[in-house]
Structure 1
């Protein structure tokens, strides 16, 4: 009965209450004293991890074995046909997630395939034909890749959105029962950073309608990067867009952020992406969208100044922290979280 219901109606699932936390994860004290974000506590060996906290699981090991181990801790709500939302990147992008790691992960998730959408900007993926060739070049040929807007679009309602009342997504997204958001956490030219929320907000919006809605542009695209709308309004539009998708999937969506090769630039910049200046950190997993992106940002701010400087400058210069506060205001998760190491 649930399968029938989910294929015909939008499920609007409530999220946990939002609050503030002031405690600190081990080793974060000096960094968080300067960070305009929320700290956490190391609850790895604590029995009481219930209450008004989201659980964010963490490992410092970035490999298929640990990615799968984290997923198995959060996948209770995943069933049926599963979409793995991945940013597959422009051709020869140096920072995209390792193909062998993703291949092993996808093989572990029954009845799954990778999903993507075409881009709005002109590049290697703005048409389905070019996108298919880029998938081949980048090695994403080990499983089906569903370009969700290849066959059209669908409108999802955005309940209580700040600016958007609905969002246009790739039509094929409605064919899936569950979604796994597998994200390469990194910087972003317009958003400051790209975490799970950005992966949903832009990555599920179709190339020609939804992405125009998120970016706040009309039929004629800005000629230069500097002319694209950004800052707070862009972050709020992204939150609205992501909310449409998480409300659709309800409890049947989970999040994994892989914090490796974190350039200040997105994988959409391809080979022109700046070389990362911050060390790899690890992998995070949660059933809570806000908590996992909040924890990822906190881990960046917790790095020594000489490492975090470039990425923090990118986040703050683009007003990227508005992503987190917008999600709080839209009740898209909990910024009070407990970081639980599996190492």
Structure 2
């Protein structure tokens, strides 16, 4: 397979060329202007960050991409889907408030924000995945699938379940509706925390399969009837219904790759990753730890598989920051230079299972040519 081109720029800046200007130069060199944006709805997929976390990408970076797309005649919007876990981004109203709190709004970014899977995470499109080994029909936020063009802007960092979170995680997991995220995270069905349940019946009313009943003012779920759609999680006012979280790490990674295929297949797409503030955990945390490696730079490519590989390779060549969680993890475990930064941070994870599977199902290639500008 022919090598994919991945473009890279470091974070050095001089008078007359700041980082935002370098980002614009990078994506232009990488070919983003080859896409016909004229009058096309363009989804710019990003993670707005859980409030309390300060490692998420600043909205300034998004504005660079938004302005460029608008100059090309595109109808661009920033987007993400609601979370499966309990937090500030569980429904569209709180999600928007969290985004605004973190600086994302039409005034700072130059475009509107749409939560792709709607108010309660149930506005989804069903996308066939003929190449899927795990997923036969992906459940993707409808606004993302309604777009003509898909662009991802990712913060590359560690992740406690997938090893790292890069382009494929932003695309696949990030674009899944609540039911889609449940499918990726779980082999099982949701359950009820009886202590928290108040017996309000919201879950009973939302369930289309008659799987939930109220007994003695407590809800219970009949797993023989439950299809794992996750709608009950979204409507519970006290967060008493939780996902199973029981899929193996490799299974999550492979499902995530198959969801990425569903998002990207059949339309133009382009991908940008910033390897900065590389915290050990996801931006979904309401806190961020000390970065595990120094800032590296900005990357762009039409191939998200090659992009993730290039970011991972550069990260693995970087020194470990003293006093970081990674430094604590590898203390006394041999030659630091030979250790994978992300597997060492979270030893139970295997990030390669995602890029390997993504290459296998035809999203892109792990073989790349790195072009520095």
Q: Please, what TM-score do these two structures have when normalized by structure 2?
A: 0.72
Greater mean deviation of Cα atoms: 55-64 or 256-265: 55-64
d(CA) in 2 for partners of 1:101 and 1:154?
A: 29
d(CA) in 1 for partners of 2:150 and 2:24?
A: 15
Contact conserved, 1:180 with 1:255, CA < 8 A, in 2? Answer: yes
> 2:366 pairs with 326, 335, 340, which one?
335
Contact conserved, 1:291 with 1:333, CA < 8 A, in 2? Answer: yes
d(CA) in 1 for partners of 2:129 and 2:243?
A: 28
Residue ranges of structure 1 left out of the alignment (5+ in a row): 1-16, 18-51
**Residues 104, 331 of structure 1: alpha-carbon distance in 2 compared, 3 angstrom cutoff:** closer
Contact conserved, 1:246 with 1:253, CA < 8 A, in 2? Answer: yes
> 1:125 pairs with 83, 89, 97, which one?
89
Contact conserved, 2:145 with 2:263, CA < 8 A, in 1? Answer: no
What count of residue pairs does the alignment treat as equivalent?
Answer: 288
Contact conserved, 1:193 with 1:314, CA < 8 A, in 2? Answer: no
Q: Is the partner of 1:190 in helix, strand or coil? A: coil
Higher RCO, Cα 8 Å, sep 6+:
1
d(CA) in 1 for partners of 2:312 and 2:274?
A: 12
> 1:100 pairs with 60, 72, 75, which one?
60
Contact conserved, 2:154 with 2:170, CA < 8 A, in 1? Answer: yes
d(CA) in 2 for partners of 1:171 and 1:145?
A: 14
Greater mean deviation of Cα atoms: 186-195 or 211-220: 211-220
Q: CA deviation at 1:246?
A: 1.3
Q: Is the partner of 2:279 in helix, strand or coil? A: coil
How does 1:1-343 map onto structure 2 within 5 Å?
Answer: 17=1, 52-61=2-11, 63-72=19-28, 73-75=30-32, 76-79=34-37, 80-110=40-70, 111-142=75-106, 143-150=111-118, 152-207=123-178, 209-216=179-186, 217-220=188-191, 228-249=246-267, 252-271=268-287, 273-304=288-319, 311-312=341-342, 313-314=344-345, 316-342=347-373
Contact conserved, 1:159 with 1:244, CA < 8 A, in 2? Answer: no
Q: Please, what TM-score do these two structures have when normalized by structure 1?
A: 0.78
Q: Which structure has the greater CA radius of gyration?
A: 2
**Residues 305, 171 of structure 1: alpha-carbon distance in 2 compared, 3 angstrom cutoff:** closer
Contact conserved, 2:184 with 2:247, CA < 8 A, in 1? Answer: no
Contact conserved, 1:78 with 1:179, CA < 8 A, in 2? Answer: no
Residue ranges of structure 2 left out of the alignment (5+ in a row): 13-18, 194-240, 330-340
Contact conserved, 1:53 with 1:338, CA < 8 A, in 2? Answer: yes
d(CA) in 1 for partners of 2:243 and 2:95?
A: 22
Q: Is the partner of 2:21 in helix, strand or coil? A: helix
